[in-house]
Amino acid sequence: MAVLLLGLLLFFGIHVFVAIRPWRDPVADRLGERPWKGLVALLSFAGIGLIVWGWHLAPRDPVFAPSMLARQIAPITVSVAIVLFAAANTRAWIRHALRHPMLLGILLWSGTHLLADGSVRATWLFGAFFAYAVFDLIAVLIRGVKAQFTPSWSGDVVSVLIGLIVADAIIWGHGWLFGVAVLG
């Protein structure tokens, strides 16, 4: 469990640091933008590596009974979340309307998984992602961050198509990838 918690601390620690501009800006200015982004990426990947390793080591002891409703709607909510992830990187109307679709997608993905699993390791993992998404959404709303672009329907088409293709692949491969079959 310690490895999972260390990975979560490293991954979210750097992301929280980045979100708090009075902390981030002096360090980024001192290092330079490109080295700063490289350091953030390196620490993020190290955190992800520890999270994946820690996930496999962590106990699967139950904390609460999983929600059957969350398990049933997971393919739909997670598919929507993946479309939102895709839309966050396009000039889609989805992104224009929602402003921060990736954070909303993380809320859907993590909230659904948190309720659908109920184990100690899932509670830590998905609870951390959910809490971070709430924190970062509040932080960006306070800062008034909004990307300036001209939306295009082609961005929505690309977001939906890529999102649904990736979601379908994850649904079909979930058992192989994560040890829990979604279908069947």
pLDDT at 113: 96
- CB neighbours of 13 closer than 8 A, spacing ≥ 6? 47
In angstroms, the CA 66 to CA 70 distance is: 8
DSSP letter string over 33-86? HHHHHHHHHHHHHHHHHHHHHHHHHS---BSSPPPHHHHHHHHHHHHHHHHHHH
Low-confidence ranges of the chain (pLDDT < 70): 184
Q: Give me the pLDDT at residue 81, please.
A: 97
- Tracing tokens 């198509």 back to the chain, one arrives at 161
pTM over 0.75: yes
Distances from the Cα of 127 to the Cαs of 23, 110, 124, 176, in angstroms? 25, 7, 5, 23
pLDDT at 184: 63
Percentage with pLDDT > 70 across the chain = 99
What end-to-end distance do the CA atoms of the chain give, in Å? 30
Contacts of 57 (CB under 8 A, 6+ apart): 1, 3, 4
Instruction: Write the CB contacts of 160 (distance below 8 Å, at least 6 apart in sequence).
Output: 83, 86
Per-residue pLDDT at 141 = 87
Q: Which residues contact 5 (CB under 8 A, 6 or more apart)?
A: 54, 124
pLDDT of residue 43: 97
Report the DSSP beta bridge partners of residue 28: none
